């Protein structure tokens, strides 16, 4: 080997070493609590998170909303930047790391390519979600409310359920398709403010009391601001979730065959499901309310599967592509430790879900849950899901769910 060849080899090794050193992290996220704000056109949406792990290989970020801590793993670093993937929602938080601060963007990979995502900053250290105030609450949001999202005849009729202790405020808004999960904030004088970020989208709710029993305000996301108004009502409730989706005339059963995550075809008519009570949940890994429902079902199934019950998840994903769906649904299954079958049923959208189950009048929401008795007959269909953030409404659902399952299991 001549001198020129040795020079080329040494030069190549030097370039590789230089590239490698440039990609090594120069800074890591500081362990402990952080407070961030998403910067919108006219508002800032605060959010809280916690960091654990003191190396590039074991960093975990927990998004904090009320009592909920949503873990984000597979965090990576490059030079002075950090990348925090939010796998279920096909999104990422990416930012430059300063001494005790972050500056970056929240990007939904399949949606926000054109606008670059939502900018945010974050500061290390324990801090309240909203700036503290010496102004004491002059009204209380505690309890249930009839809430209009929007104005006029086009307004969505929703329900608010809130818990206020002093000035500290938590709660959620329930809709016919699900809820806005864990909102957290405070009351200052006659005004209140709540925010949340669980990985899907930042939310900000701001309102002012007109009296002890009414308020007006705005519900804000990165895409729009919507008028909101509320009237206190201790009996506030949504329409019956069991009346939205139902069997078409002439049908008593449903049938389907879809691949599981190993690529094997699974049918509702398989021997595994014969003679058992079966719960079919229509879901998407991208759907926050589906996450809450399957978190409940996963734990419930472990405790009850020996009673003669099965659960099947029908996953409708962003792409009509098995390998892509397998990746996202497997991530959901691992995150929640789901032990029942998850099948890939097609691309997301209520129209696609309705087409996949033609015996039903139509799927109106994700999730939708179908209860099937031992004879294979559809007995009830529940649209939407209101999870743990909704307090008493979640507790009521669990009582109804267990009562219905007990009834179906008791039948000969």
Q: How many CB atoms lie within 10 A of CB 324?
A: 14
Q: What is the three-class DSSP state of 245? A: coil
> 116 and 148 share a domain?
no
- pLDDT of the residue at 111: 67
- pLDDT of the residue at 154: 86
* Number of alpha carbons in the 13 Å side-chain half-sphere of residue 19: 6
Is residue 137 a part of any domain in this protein?
Answer: no
- pTM to 2 decimals? 0.90
Is residue 399 a part of any domain in this protein?
Answer: yes
> 200 and 271 share a domain?
no
> 64 and 201 share a domain?
no
Q: Is the dihedral of CA 192, 198, 201, 202 positive or negative?
A: positive
> 394 and 261 share a domain?
yes
**Six token digits for residue 267:** 């049918």
- pLDDT of the residue at 114: 57
Is residue 382 a part of any domain in this protein?
Answer: yes
Is residue 4 a part of any domain in this protein?
Answer: no
> 119 and 151 share a domain?
no
> 116 and 196 share a domain?
no
Given 60, 93, 124, which residue is the final one in a domain?
A: 124
Distance CA 117, CA 109 (A): 9
Given 76, 97, 124, which residue is the final one in a domain?
A: 124
* CATH code (residue 313): 3.40.30.10
- pLDDT of the residue at 27: 84
* CATH code (residue 220): 2.40.128.120
CB 366 within 8 A of CB 350: yes
Is residue 22 a part of any domain in this protein?
Answer: no
Is residue 23 a part of any domain in this protein?
Answer: no
> 308 and 338 share a domain?
yes
Beta-bridged to residue 232, according to DSSP, are 145
> 107 and 157 share a domain?
no
Distance of CA 157 to the CA centre of its chain: 21
Question: How far, in Å, are 41, 107, 143, 182, 370 from residue 189 at the CA level?
Answer: 26, 36, 18, 23, 46
> 89 and 171 share a domain?
no
Is residue 79 a part of any domain in this protein?
Answer: yes
| Cβ-proximal residues to 68 (8 Å cutoff; 6+ apart), any chain | 181, 182, 198, 388, 389
Given 124, 153, 171, which residue is the final one in a domain?
A: 124
- pLDDT of the residue at 6: 47
The tally of domains found in the chain comes to 3
> 268 and 401 share a domain?
yes
> 266 and 403 share a domain?
yes
Q: Give the ranges where 283-367 is alpha helix by DSSP (H).
A: 288-304, 322-336, 350-356
Burial label, 312 (beta-carbon count in 10 A; 0-12, 13-18, 19+): buried
Beta-bridged to residue 35, according to DSSP, are 48, 123
- pLDDT of the residue at 412: 80
Distance CA 67, CA 230 (A): 25
Strand 341-347 and strand 309-317: the pairing is parallel
Is residue 208 a part of any domain in this protein?
Answer: yes
- pLDDT of the residue at 23: 55
The residue range of the domain holding 86 is: 32-124
- How confident is the prediction along the chain (412 residues), in pLDDT tens digits per residue? 555 554 544 544 444 444 444 456 778 999 999 999 999 999 999 999 999 997 888 999 999 999 999 999 999 999 999 999 999 999 999 999 999 999 999 999 876 455 689 999 999 999 999 998 889 999 899 999 999 999 888 899 999 999 999 999 999 999 999 999 999 999 999 999 999 999 999 999 999 999 989 999 999 999 999 999 999 999 999 999 999 999 999 999 999 999 999 999 999 999 999 999 999 999 999 999 999 999 999 999 999 999 999 999 999 999 999 999 999 999 999 999 999 999 999 999 999 999 999 999 999 999 999 999 999 999 999 999 999 999 999 999 999 999 999 999 999 8
> 68 and 113 share a domain?
yes
- pLDDT of the residue at 42: 92
* CATH code (residue 68): 2.40.128
């Amino acid at each position: 080997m001549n001198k020129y060849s040795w020079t080329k080899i040494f030069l190549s090794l030097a370039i590789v070493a230089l590239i490698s050193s440039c990609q090594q992290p120069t800074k890591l996220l500081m362990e402990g609590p952080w407070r961030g704000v998403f910067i919108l056109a006219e508002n800032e949406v605060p959010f809280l998170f916690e960091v654990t792990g003191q190396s590039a290989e074991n960093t975990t970020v927990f998004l904090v909303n009320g009592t909920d801590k949503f873990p984000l793993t597979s965090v990576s670093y490059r030079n002075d930047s950090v990348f925090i993937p939010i796998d279920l929602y096909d999104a990422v938080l990416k930012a430059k790391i300063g001494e005790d601060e972050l500056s970056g963007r929240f990007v939904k990979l399949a949606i926000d390519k054109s606008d670059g995502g939502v900018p945010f900053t974050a500061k290390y250290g324990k801090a309240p979600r909203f700036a503290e105030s010496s102004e004491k609450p002059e009204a209380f949001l505690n309890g249930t409310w009839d809430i209009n999202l929007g104005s006029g005849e086009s307004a969505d009729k929703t329900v608010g359920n809130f818990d206020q202790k002093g000035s500290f405020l938590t709660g959620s808004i329930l809709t016919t398709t699900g809820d806005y999960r864990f909102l957290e904030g405070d009351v200052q004088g006659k005004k209140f403010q709540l925010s949340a970020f669980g990985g899907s989208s930042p939310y900000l709710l701001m309102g002012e009391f007109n009296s002890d029993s009414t308020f007006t305000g705005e519900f804000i996301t990165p895409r729009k601001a919507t008028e909101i108004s509320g009237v206190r009502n201790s009996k506030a409730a949504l329409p019956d979730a069991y009346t939205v989706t139902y069997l078409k005339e002439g049908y008593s059963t449903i049938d389907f065959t879809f691949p599981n995550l190993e690529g094997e075809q699974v049918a509702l008519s398989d021997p595994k499901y014969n003679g058992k009570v079966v719960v079919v949940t229509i879901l998407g890994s991208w759907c926050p309310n589906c996450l809450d429902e399957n978190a409940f079902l996963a734990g419930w199934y472990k405790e009850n599967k020996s009673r003669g019950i099965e659960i099947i998840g029908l996953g409708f994903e962003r792409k009509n592509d098995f390998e892509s769906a397998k990746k996202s649904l497997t991530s959901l299954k691992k995150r929640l430790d789901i032990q029942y079958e998850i099948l890939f049923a097609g691309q997301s959208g209520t129209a696609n879900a309705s087409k996949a189950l033609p015996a039903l009048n139509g799927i109106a929401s994700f999730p939708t849950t179908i209860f099937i008795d031992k004879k294979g007959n559809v007995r009830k269909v529940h649209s939407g899901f209101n999870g743990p953030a909704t307090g008493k409404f979640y507790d009521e659902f669990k009582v109804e769910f267990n009562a219905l399952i007990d009834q179906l299991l008791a039948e000969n």
